[in-house]
């Protein structure tokens, strides 16, 4: 994964977080959160970082 691809992943994570905060439907929120976690895991794996904080953050659950 090159820097451009990483940037796309990070932009998508940011966009999904904003969408998550706007969404009122708990079912859809869970799908959005799953997508965020998958993107974070892909970035972490590609960069050989440990995957941390797979649980919902306080901001993401409020």
| Tens digit of each residue's pLDDT, the chain (62 residues) | 788 988 999 999 999 999 999 999 999 999 999 999 999 998 888 777 666 555 554 445 44
- Cβ distance 43 to 9 under 8 Å? yes
φ/ψ (deg, to 5) at 40: -65, -40
Look up the pTM and report it: 0.73
Phi and psi torsions of 30, nearest 5°: -65, -35
Tell me, what's the pLDDT at 62?
A: 47
């Amino acid at each position: 994964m090159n820097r451009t691809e990483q940037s796309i992943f990070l932009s998508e994570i940011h966009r999904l977080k904003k969408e998550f905060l706007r969404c009122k439907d708990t079912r859809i929120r869970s799908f959005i959160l799953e997508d965020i976690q998958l993107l974070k895991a892909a970035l972490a794996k590609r960069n050989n970082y440990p995957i941390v904080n797979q649980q919902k953050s306080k901001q993401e659950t409020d």
